[in-house]
Structure formats: structure tokens, C-alpha cells
Structure 1
């Protein structure tokens, strides 16, 4: 069942949806953020929330009932906190949609509706979870309130995956340069804005801290001048994930400051990879995170090769009870 059909089924049962709540952990939580951002920007009546799963479990919002759609995500389908959140939302009467790659997994068994996505097959496959979440958000808005740029979003979805694969392949040379320059960095800061804000977050906590054991911090580009810019100095390492669209000026302002004080700065810019040449400008903001995710995965892979530290290497995760 595709996103449009799922929301049609929910609408047949409940014509009065008040809340859309996104729940996940780590990278899966971040993958849900563009969908939440889209609804925040465009919905006039729907209330949206975005939770790490155990926050949802221990401090469950009162809005979780039959007027709520809860969208949960777990790559392997067995993240304990998210499995519990999925079951809890269903018990409270919400219409629960889960995104996972694993057929028959615990999260799939606890949901009302399941969308299975790919991951390892290609760089674009790694975007499917984020893409399906965004498609669900678009369908919710269009079916419950109407959305002026629905066709433009459909055009974007038809183009973004091919563009992402091409962009990832074209990024190898720059990624190798990045890896050599950053392989010995003791700490790396990551920032972005708009729909890409939590791509910066997952880059920091997952790709850097979890997968490379590199100290890292992340913040919104708009918050850069409200504290974080005080640590800028020559050769301090930064990654700026730069958006094509309405928040570009926020990223540009941060970049100007980094360059002014000669910080070690790597920019991954959606504009450089032709996003607005294939996606309508009316909706380009919402596709930045997908393109940038694909490109930066290449950067992370090259960094792992340069450091001789596989992205799959762990000290604690999957090895201890915690």
C-alpha cells in the first residue's frame, strides 16, 4: 500500500485528524524531520510533533487518540523504544504507520499500516525512508486540507532519487579531499537550516560520534550567532550543509563568518548538485535533505577509509545491555 492509499484508508475511518506525530530514534528520527517541517510550513489546522521514542513512551502527549496519525520509523524494525512507542500509539487508538526495511519485524507487527523501504542497494535507496515519510506528510495535507503545490511535490519525488545517485557518484573527488583534511580532527561541528536541520543532527550523532568515534556538535545555522560562533578560530573544523531555497541566506551568513576567520570549512551545497534544476522552486526546500544525505554519505565513507575505521564498527551498540 502506497502513502496515498494509506491516507485514503485512514480518512475513510476518521475524517477529523487533528495531530500528526513523528516518532523514532537516532537517524530514523532525523529521517522523519523533513516531513514534520513540511507540515509545520504548510498546514493551517493540523498540529505536528516530533519525538525521540522514549520521550513519547514516558511522556506521551494527550493528543494521541483516534484523531492522531502517528508515524514511526526503525531501519531494522526492532529498536526497542520505537517498537514500544508504536504499540502504545496503537493501543491509544491512533492510526499508526510504520516505516522499516524488515518484513515481519516487531515494529511492523505493532502498526496499523507498514511501508517497507530499501536501504543498502544504492545511495538513493538510503533516502527511501525519508522520502516515504515526506510523501505521507504531503498526502495528509492534501487530503485533509488541500495543498496548492501537490503536483510540484509529485514532480520532485519523480526526480530526486536519480539526481541523488548521480550527485553521490560525482562527489567522490571532493569527498576524498575532505577525508584527508578531516581524518585527524579531534572534533567536527555540523550545521544546517530548514528541512535539513536534522540531517546535520544525524551527521553529528550518527556518522561522526557513533560510526567514527569523533567528538561532534551540531546546531541550527540560525543559532550559530547566538553562542556557537564564539568557538570559531583558524582551522577549527566545520561542516555546513547548505540549502537551496528560502533558508539559504541563513546558511550563507554562517559561511561568510567561517570564511572570515579561516575556519576549516567543508560545504555540501544542494545548489552545486543541481537540485533546483530538476525540482520546482515552489517545493525545493523539502528535497534539500534527501540530496544532501546522499552526497554526505559518500563523504562519510571516504572518511572511514582514510581513518581505517569502518562505518559498521561499534564499541557498545549491539554488544552490551544498556
Structure 2
């Protein structure tokens, strides 16, 4: 079923929805965030939350009932915590929509509706999960409350995949330079804001710490001047993800400070890839995460090549019981 068909079916069975919960683990939870961010920013009545799956299981919100939609997400559809959370939501009476790459997976089975996304074909396909979750959020909002920029969002969904591929194709030289510069780095700070704030978390926690065993930390640009900026010094390494949209002033303020003290800064700027030149400014901010994440994937792959450390290499994951 398409996103539109799913939400239409939900509406027929549940005329009133009061809450929407996004539930996942690790990178999948991060990829749910743009949908949550969009819905929270634009919904006037719907209650919106995001949970890591185990917390959802152990501390289930009281509002998870027949008036709730729970969106669960796992690439393989086998993440035990997320499958259990999906079952818990169903048992609580919520309408559960799973987002996974594998049709018929345990997560797909533990849901009322399934969104099956791509992954292998190209870089744009790797962003389908995040993009389809955003589309789902937009469809829920428009169906239950209405959304004046719905047509602009629809147009954006028709353009974002080609834009990702174009951005990726131009990024290889810069990605290679980044990999050469940072291959032996002892620590990297990753920063962003707005809809992209969890992309900085995802890149630091998963592509760096999990897949490259590089110590990393991430924080919101709006919080930078409330603690983290005390560590800024000459040649301290930062990766700043700059948004094309209303939270950009926070990104720019952070960049100005980093340059002031000669920190070693790499900037990935959605404006450089023409985001708002292709997607209406009314909704462009919500597409920053997909565009920047697509480019970051190239950066991670180049880092893996230079370091001779494949992104699939693990020390504990898939090797131990934990």
C-alpha cells in the first residue's frame, strides 16, 4: 500500500486520532525524527512523541490506545526491541504502521499496515525510509487537521530523490579530502539544528562510533553556547551540517564562533546543493535531513576506504549476546 492508501484506510477505521508516536532504535529512530519534527511543528491538535523502542516497552505512554497511531521502524524488520514495541502498541489498541525494507519480516507482521522501502539501488534509495516517514507524517496531518503547504510537500517528494543523486555525484572530491584529513582523528564533534539535528547524532553514533570505531559526540547548534563551546580551540575538529531554512541562523552563529578560534571545521551546507532552489521555501527545511544524509553516506564510505575499515565491520554487534 502507498502512504496515501494507508492513511486513508486508517481514517476510515479511526475517525479521531489524538496521538502519533514514532518508535525505533539507533539509526532507524534517527530516521524517524524528520517526520516527528514536521508533525510537531505543524500539528495544532495532534500530540507527537518519539521513543527509543525499549523505553516505549518499559515506560509505555498512557495515551497509547485506540486514538493513537504508532509508527515503528527497522531496516531489517528484525530489531528485537522494535518488534516487541510494535506488538505492545498493537496490544494497547493503537493503529501500528511499520516501516521496513523487508516485506514479511517480524516487524511487518507485527503491524496493521506496512511501508516497504528500498535501500540497495542508489544513495537516494538509502534515504527512502526517512523520506517515506516524512510523507506519512504529512499525510496524517493533512488528513486529520489539514495542511496549507501540502501541495508544496508533494512537489518536494517528487524532486528530492533526484536532488540527492545530483548532490552525491558532486561530493566525492570533498568526501575524499575529508577522509584523508580525518582518518586518524581522535575525536570528532558533529553539529546541526532543526530537522537535521538527529542526522548529526546518527552520523556520530553509528557511522563513526559503530561503523568506524571513531570516538564522536554530537549536539544541537542551539545548545552549543550553553556548554559545548568551552571545548573550542585551535585545530579541534568539527563537522557542521548547515540547514537551508529557518534554523540556519543557529548554524551560522556556531560557524562564526568556530572560525573565530581557528577550529578545524568541515561544513556540509544544504544551500550548496540547491535545496531551496528546487523545493519550495515553505517546506524546504523538512528535506534538509535527506539531502545531507545522502551526502554524508559518501563521506562515511570514503572514510572507510581510506582507513581500510569496512562499514560492515563490528566488534560486538551480531557477534555476541547482549
The TM-score, its normalising length taken from structure 2, stands at 0.99
The secondary structure found in structure 1 opposite 2:57 is helix
The corresponding residue for 1:30 is: 30
The corresponding residue for 1:221 is: 221
Question: What is the correspondence of 1:48-87 to structure 2 with a 5 Å cutoff?
Answer: 48-87=48-87
String of CA shifts for 1:219-238, please: whole Å, max 9, x gaps.
00100000000111111111
| Cα offset, 1:298, TM superposition | 0.4
The corresponding residue for 2:258 is: 258
RMSD across aligned C-alpha pairs, in angstroms?
0.5
| Cα offset, 1:169, TM superposition | 1.1
The corresponding residue for 1:4 is: 4
**Structure 1 position 171 matched with structure 2 position 177:** no
* Count of residue correspondences: 322
| Equivalent-residue separation in structure 1 for 2:91 and 2:112 (angstroms) | 11
| Equivalent-residue separation in structure 1 for 2:260 and 2:174 (angstroms) | 22
| Equivalent-residue separation in structure 2 for 1:227 and 1:252 (angstroms) | 18
String of CA shifts for 1:128-151, please: whole Å, max 9, x gaps.
000111011001100000000000
| Equivalent-residue separation in structure 2 for 1:24 and 1:204 (angstroms) | 18
| Equivalent-residue separation in structure 1 for 2:276 and 2:221 (angstroms) | 21
| Equivalent-residue separation in structure 1 for 2:93 and 2:132 (angstroms) | 23
The corresponding residue for 2:116 is: 116
| Equivalent-residue separation in structure 1 for 2:25 and 2:237 (angstroms) | 26
| Cα offset, 1:4, TM superposition | 1.0
| Equivalent-residue separation in structure 1 for 2:15 and 2:261 (angstroms) | 55
| Cα offset, 1:303, TM superposition | 0.8
| Cα offset, 1:61, TM superposition | 0.3
| Equivalent-residue separation in structure 2 for 1:119 and 1:266 (angstroms) | 27
| Cα offset, 1:121, TM superposition | 1.4
Question: What is the correspondence of 1:1-322 to structure 2 with a 5 Å cutoff?
Answer: 1-322=1-322
| Cα offset, 1:104, TM superposition | 1.1
Q: Which residues of structure 1 form unaligned runs of 5+?
A: none
| Equivalent-residue separation in structure 2 for 1:214 and 1:19 (angstroms) | 38
| Cα offset, 1:46, TM superposition | 0.2
The secondary structure found in structure 2 opposite 1:189 is strand
| Equivalent-residue separation in structure 2 for 1:255 and 1:120 (angstroms) | 34
The secondary structure found in structure 2 opposite 1:226 is coil
The secondary structure found in structure 2 opposite 1:214 is coil
The secondary structure found in structure 1 opposite 2:281 is coil
Q: Which residues of structure 2 form unaligned runs of 5+?
A: none
